[in-house]
Amino acid sequence: MTDAEPSRETTVGELSEGQILRGILDRLPPSSAPVGPGDDAAVLSVPDGRVVATTDTLVHGPDFRLAWSSPFDLGFKAAAVNLADVAAMGARPIALLVALAMPDATPVSFVRGFADGLAAACAELAPGCAVEGGDLTVSDTLTIAVTALGSLDGRAPVRRSGARVGDGVYVIGELGEAARGLDVLFERFTDADGSPVALTAEARDALDAADAKALSRQLTPRPPLAEALRAAASGATAMMDVSDGLALDATRLADASGVTIALDSATLGDDPARALGGGEDHGFLVAFAPDAEPLGRRIGTVVARGAEALTVDGRAWTGRVGWDPYRDWDAGRG
Amino acid sequence: MTDAEPSRETTVGELSEGQILRGILDRLPPSSAPVGPGDDAAVLSVPDGRVVATTDTLVHGPDFRLAWSSPFDLGFKAAAVNLADVAAMGARPIALLVALAMPDATPVSFVRGFADGLAAACAELAPGCAVEGGDLTVSDTLTIAVTALGSLDGRAPVRRSGARVGDGVYVIGELGEAARGLDVLFERFTDADGSPVALTAEARDALDAADAKALSRQLTPRPPLAEALRAAASGATAMMDVSDGLALDATRLADASGVTIALDSATLGDDPARALGGGEDHGFLVAFAPDAEPLGRRIGTVVARGAEALTVDGRAWTGRVGWDPYRDWDAGRG
């Protein structure tokens, strides 16, 4: 290479699917499954004869921006949000399948960072869970579709429909922090046209502690999986991942259970509106019977079904009710 | 509506995720799983304590064109290619998880047709298999990521690595038809710039029987799942889905098994080059021990590992070796 030729990173378009795949698998912990990656399908052990399965997709544009999320962040988040859905059933995550659709021009370093993020999320949030399969293809839009599988280890699944009148309503994890992090991004890391501008390490370092924490919750959520599994073992009657905002998700749990959830705004921190309306918390909303030993913070009570599925301080909630990609994403915004 | 207002279809961008989801679930057969769609995750029964899991993505552009594939076709194909990977392990498909990322402007009728295609593929190819979960999001690029899960029902999985010297090599299903169908599309249904032009019912009716069949194999593949499961029960030593062309897939099976596969071109039909190089067959490549009762057509023999993983008529195969999305897709082509 001469000075006249700027150094240019190798792109995935220059490699075969097999070469890209090896670059990923080399960075992931080894499989302990009966059949791991490399065959037509994986074979996984679920000793009690039941498997828990969920899938969630991250799409460039509505779900993330490469100006803001590092490849590591994306791998971590794609794993974390799916692991949370498995734990919300009371199940222990055992495997991820990762389908990655990338533009030809994606640098190979993206794939390496992404794989490191997947590995880190499994190690930190769900030790023993590994990437046991996946798919690579080309796309104009960077798209990450993850499936997570889990084992109930003999326990009953904890469904949304199990809340009973008189149960206490608890939340495990934080509310509103991820939404605050998204606000930080849109308010401080967009240009005059609303397009994202790069979130540099220097810019992150310049944030105050609260904003830096909120940004971290938005970019690399850390759902408290171990506590969700303890809640399941402690007799939670209903549980769900809080992903689309507390107000919307509590409404869903109430509807599924045929009850009303009565929340007390005084329990929702400094900014109850953000706690209720913000998305991507990836904590857990849990109902416990009155005689159970609950985990988390109590935020309300399950009452007989009334005119509203959800009340806040005794009244219908009329504020923002969470994130719906088909309603809320405006491609023109950035 | 007046004559001055042209009728316009409702788009997914005008509906909530819940409304779109109901439009899909209403068209799918009811779940018989312990926990079906609607919770954070599904819970599925796999009585022998093992689950088979695979994922495959179809992306608009490299994998399909809306000018050529109907919504029904896409639902059918997205299910079929994943069901084939489960069956290639010798497992019975029990569930699909379907992640659908669609542009806002996608008409709601697309979603209905797509759901009908999913349902039809399950009913025809894998009775008892249902869509037990999924995800909807918005994307600039229509993307379909399907995960298929299966049960081995007490049998050992049939891996790629089990072929032994002396085994017969068989294929169940057709070779090269889907590739011929793709040629029909690129040769007759593109404009002067190479962009796809609509494949109308009239145009399909005008095709001769052989081309019409090839087109059908390309757009709505029908992998012979029942025969793959019979092959597994009949003692197949190795099996895989032929998705990327026989030459490439046979090389993979040979590499995994540490053997050489010696094919006889006289067994590969009228166009051996197309049979070897064409992709998306979604038949099954199977090895049977000499004393087994094989299924399918014999196309070769497993021999001791030589300089080449694959030989055709005793020589290395130097023709086209299948489909690699990162090597083969040219966005400029259409």
Q: How far apart are CA B239 and CA B218, in angstroms?
A: 22
Would you state the CATH architecture of domain B12-151?
2-Layer Sandwich (3.30)
Q: How many contacts, defined by CB atoms under 8 Å, are there between A and B?
A: 256
* Mutation target vs A (from B12, B21, B48, B55; most A CBs, 10 A cutoff): B55
What φ, ψ does residue A239 adopt, rounded to 5°? -155, 145
pLDDT of res. A140: 96
The pLDDT value recorded for residue A180 is 94
Which chain A residue lies closest to B153 (C-alpha atoms)?
Answer: A49
Comparing alpha-carbon positions, the chain A residue that sits nearest to B161 is: A39
Gap from B34 CA to chain A (nearest CA, Å): 9
Residue A329 pLDDT: 56
Q: Tokens 């003999």 — which residue?
A: A154
Beta bridge partners of A58: A144
Name the residue facing B159 among A35, A49, A324 (closest C-beta): A35
List of chain A residues whose C-beta atoms are within 8 Å of the C-beta of residue B12? 326
Contact B326, A17 (CB under 8 A): yes
Distance from CA of B191 to the nearest CA of A (A): 22
Question: According to the model, what pLDDT value does residue A6 have?
Answer: 54
Contact B279/B249 with Cβ under 8 angstroms? no
Angle at A228 between CA B149 and CA A55, to 5 degrees: 30
Average pLDDT for A162-170: 98
Reading the block at residue B137, the tokens are 């999001």
The answer to whether the CB atoms of B39 and A132 lie below 8 A apart is: no
CB contact under 8 A, B147 and A147: yes
Cα–Cα distance for residue pair A179/A9, rounded to 1 Å: 34
Longest dimension (CA), chain B: 75
**Cβ contact, residue pair A137, B62, below 8 Å:** yes
CATH code, residues A13-151 = 3.30.1330.10
Q: What is the pLDDT of residue A7?
A: 64
Q: What is the ipTM of this complex?
A: 0.93
In this model, does residue B17 exceed pLDDT 80? Answer: yes
Q: Which of B172, B310, B162, B331 is nearest to B248 (CA)?
A: B310
- Does A270 carry a binding-site annotation? no
Q: Is B323 annotated as a binding residue?
A: yes
Contacting residues of B for A241, CB less than 8 Å apart: 40
Q: Which residues on B lie below 8 Å from A144 (Cβ)? A: none
Q: Which among B87, B126, B259 is positioned nearest to A39, based on CA atoms?
A: B87
Fold adopted by A160-179+221-326: Phosphoribosyl-aminoimidazole Synthetase; Chain A, domain 2 (3.90.650)
pLDDT tens string A253-274: 999 999 999 999 999 999 999 9
Residue B24: partners with Cβ closer than 8 Å, 6 or more residues away: B111, B112, B114, B115, B131, B134
Report which residue type is found at A118.
L
Q: Which residues from chain A sit within 8 angstroms of residue B41, using beta carbons?
A: 52-54, 85-86, 88-89, 91, 148, 150
Known binding residue A241? Answer is: yes
Q: Residue B333: its pLDDT value, please?
A: 42
A2 is in an annotated binding site: no
Q: Cβ A53–B88 below 8 Å, yes or no?
A: no
Given an 8 Å threshold on Cβ–Cβ distance, is B39 in contact with A159?
yes
Interchain contact, B57 vs A138, CB within 8 Å: no
Model confidence pLDDT, tens digit, residues B54-110: 999 999 999 999 999 999 999 999 999 999 999 999 999 999 999 999 999 999 999
Residue B246 binned pLDDT confidence (cut-offs 50, 70, 90): very high
Q: Do B139 and A140 touch (CB under 8 A)?
A: no
Identify the CA nearest to A114 among candidates A138, A92, A140, A143: A143
Nearest C-alpha in A relative to B11? A326
Q: Which of A39, A46, A86 sits opposite B41 (nearest CB)?
A: A86
pLDDT at site B2: 45
Q: Spell out the alpha helix ranges (H) of chain A.
A: 17-25, 71-88, 108-125, 177-188, 201-205, 209-219, 225-233, 246-257, 272-277, 325-328
* Residue contact B138–A39, C-beta within 8 A: no
* Cβ within 8 Å, pair B53-A42: yes
| Domains in chain B: boundaries | 12-151, 160-179+221-328
Is B40 known as a binding-site position?
Answer: yes
Which conformational region is residue B256 in: left (phi greater than 0), alpha (psi within -120 to 50 degrees), or beta? alpha
Nearest CB among B44, B57, B89 relative to A41 is that of B89
CB contact under 8 A, B326 and A97: no
For residue A333, the model assigns a pLDDT of 42
Q: Which residues of B199-224 are buried (b: 16+ CB within 10 A; e: fewer)?
A: beeeeeeebeeebeebbbbbbbbbbb
Asked whether residue B111 carries a pLDDT value surpassing 50, the answer given is yes
B179-232 tens-digit pLDDT: 999 999 999 999 999 899 999 999 999 999 999 999 999 999 999 999 999 999
Between B63, B136, B147, which is nearest A137 by CB? B63
Q: Contact B59/A15, CB-based, under 8 Å?
A: no
The verdict on whether residue B8 carries a ligand-binding annotation is: no
Residue A272, pLDDT score: 95
Distance of CA A143 to the CA centre of its chain: 15
Superfamily of domain B160-179+221-328: PurM-like C-terminal domain (3.90.650.10)
| Distance between start and end Cα atoms, chain A | 37
Query: Quick one: angle between helices B71-87 and B225-233, nearest 10?
Result: 0
- Which band of pLDDT confidence, cut at 50, 70 and 90, is reported for residue A332? very low
User: Per the annotation, does B68 bind a ligand?
Assistant: no
Q: Which of A16, A145, A241 lies at the smallest CB-CB distance from B40? A: A241
SS3 of chain B: CCCCCCCCCCEHHHCCHHHHHHHHHCCCCCCCCCECECECCEEEECCCCEEEEEEEEEEECCCECCCCCCHHHHHHHHHHHHHHHHHCCCCEEEEEEEEEEECCCCEHHHHHHHHHHHHHHHHHHCCCCEEEEEEEEECCCCEEEEEEEEECCCCCCCCHHHCCCCCEEEEECCCCHHHHHHHHHHHHCECCCCCECCCCHHHHHCCCHHHHHHHHHHHCCCCCHHHHHHHHHCCEEEEEEECCCHHHHHHHHHHHHCCEEEECHHHCCCCHHHHHHCCCCCEEEEEECCCCCCCCEEEEEEECCCCCCEEECCEECCCCCCCCHHHHCCHHHC
What does the alpha-carbon distance between residue A42 and residue A40 come to, in Å, rounded to a whole number?
7
- The pLDDT value recorded for residue A334 is 36
B86 contact residues in A (CB cutoff 8 A): 40-41
Mean pLDDT (whole number) for A169-184: 95
Taking the C-alpha atoms of residue A174 and residue A279, their distance in angstroms, rounded to an integer, is 11
Please write the tens of the pLDDT for every residue from A8-34: 789 999 998 888 988 898 999 889 899
Q: What are the tens digits of pLDDT across the range A182-226?
A: 999 999 999 999 899 999 999 999 999 999 999 999 999 999 999
State which residue of chain A sits closest to B34, comparing Cα positions.
Answer: A50
- Does B305 belong to an annotated binding site? no
